[in-house]
Amino acid sequence: MIPVLVLNAGSSSLKYQLIDMDDRLVAASGLVERIGEAEGRLVHRASGADELTEEGKIPDHGAALDRVLAAFERTGGLTEAPFAVGHRVVHGGDRFSGPTVVDDDVLAEIRDLVPLAPLHNPANIAGIEVARSRYPDTPQVAVFDTAFHAAMPPHAWRYALPRDLADRLRIRRYGFHGTSHAYVARAAAAHLGRPLEELTLVTLHLGNGCSAAAVAGGRSIDTSMGLTPLGGLVMGTRSGDLDPGIVAHLHREGGLDLDAIDTLLNKESGMRGLAGSNDLREVHARADAGDADAAEALDVFCYRIRCTVGAYAAALGRLDALVFTAGIGENDADVRARVCAGLGVLGVEPDEARNAERSRETRTISADGSAVAVLVVPTDEELEIAEQTLAVVRGAAPM
């Protein structure tokens, strides 16, 4: 058994999976929620044991990890230290272009990137610190959401702002969801039976957060999220791209201060702002019941995605495959059909019956003669983090 523990720490949550990298199977998984609040909650699932649920105050991430380790003691699965711990870290700035074994210097650099991800990196740092303290002799690896996009060319990442100011404040496109885009790009190539190095893909991660990536030869050459995960496509609660003049307008005419605008654009916009719900199933239900706002919201959502695919086909110069993933991409046949409608100009020919079929497997949903293969690939960010963790630990300390 090669147990790799994957930790994804949010500001008040800790998601984890224990993956046996011998056979790539999940041995246990769970979630600690409402860390720091009056009443926290742990749900722990280990193979061969009953699901375990605990409630009670969980003051911080250290206490959360202790609860998780205590749960493992009861269900088994992690009796000794894991082989390695892989941490999801949201922002690697332009410093980290791949998975990195964490030492004091790396931790300091991740801390230095907090201004770029003030909500996420502090939680990720907390996760690393507690895992290091509990397992001081186990390699800890940071896997960055931004890393897959780190090799984008300057014409894709540079914003047209005064150079000195942008450079000083580290303002550029970084892109996110990189672990997911990397995983589905590789899985798509395997499904197509072609080397990833030869392929041009557009990958669409459509979940609560949504982003697109243009992938050439296994590397992201452009992506829709920017300095922060607010940019690009319309999302559950995030606006995606706007005319930047709207920010000043909201302030001058709407009387909103910067914090209020930040909250508005991140938490109250997107599908929630347009249709009253950030859950696309609910938006569909409302549209089906005759709600014109919900119907229009779906049009806006799909239109933005379709235009982005067109733009990325132009960026790539050729499009071999279009890949849908995440909660919406994997499950929502209607969104997939609407995105593909109108992409005939690129050679996208969906097959209605294949698209409508429900499955948890990687599958082709384009017609046999379609010039562009359209695929649905279930993403697995935890497995990708575990794979990258294992690779970097073995590279750093060959066994």
Sequence ranges of the binding site for ATP? 15, 205-209, 279-281, 327-331
d(CA 30, CA 159): 40
Site for ligand AMP in 215-274 (CB under 6 A): 236
User: How far lies 396's CA from each of 113, 140, 146, 391, 392, in Å?
Assistant: 24, 12, 21, 8, 6
Least distance from ligand AMP to the Cβ atom of residue 331, Å: 3
∠ CA 121-125-127, nearest 5°, is 120
Using rule CB under 6 A, residue 332 touches ligand AMP: yes
Between 47 and 208, CB nearer to ligand AMP: 208
Measured in degrees and rounded to the nearest 5, phi and psi for residue 375 equal -125, 150
Candidate residues 327, 365, 385, 390; the one interacting with ligand AMP per rule CB under 6 A: 327
Give yes or no for a contact between 395 and 376, defined as CB atoms under 8 angstroms apart.
Answer: no
Q: Which stretch binds ligand AMP (CB under 6 A): 20-28, 140-148, 254-262, 326-334?
A: 326-334
Between 15 and 87, CB nearer to ligand AMP: 15
Least distance from ligand AMP to the Cβ atom of residue 327, Å: 2
Between 309 and 326, CB nearer to ligand AMP: 326
Q: Which of 168, 187, 189, 178 is nearest to 222 (CA)?
A: 178
Least distance from ligand AMP to the Cβ atom of residue 33, Å: 15
Candidate residues 106, 328, 339, 373; the one interacting with ligand AMP per rule CB under 6 A: 328
The dihedral sign for the CA sequence 292, 267, 142, 94 = positive
Going by the DSSP 8-state scheme, the letter that residue 107 receives in this structure is: H
The first and second tokens of residue 367, run together, are 């017609």
Site for ligand AMP in 61-120 (CB under 6 A): none
Known catalytic residues?
Answer: 145
Using rule CB under 6 A, residue 199 touches ligand AMP: no
d(CA 234, CA 120): 21
Site for ligand AMP in 264-323 (CB under 6 A): 279-281
Amino acid at residue number 342:
G
Using rule CB under 6 A, residue 207 touches ligand AMP: yes
Q: Which stretches of the chain bind ligand AMP, using CB under 6 A?
A: 207-208, 236, 279-281, 326-328, 331-332
